[in-house]
Amino acid sequence: MGEVRLSGQLVCDSAAQVAIVVRQLPLHILSTRAEDGCLSFEVAPTDDPLVWQVAERFRDATAFRAHQQRAATSDWGRETAGIERRYTVDGID
Rounded distance between C-alpha atoms, residue 36 and residue 84, angstroms: 26
Per-residue pLDDT of the chain (93 residues; tens, 9 = 90+): 699 999 999 999 999 999 999 999 999 999 999 999 999 999 999 999 999 999 999 999 999 999 999 999 999 999 999 999 999 999 997
- Partners of 5 in beta bridges: 57, 90
- What is the set of domains in the chain, with CATH numbers? 4-90 (3.30.70.100)
- The reported pLDDT for the residue numbered 1 is 65
Contact 61, 88 (CB under 8 A): no
Provide the whole-model pTM.
0.92
* Sheet arrangement for strand 38-45: 38-45, 51-58, 4-11, 84-90
- Partners of 38 in beta bridges: 58
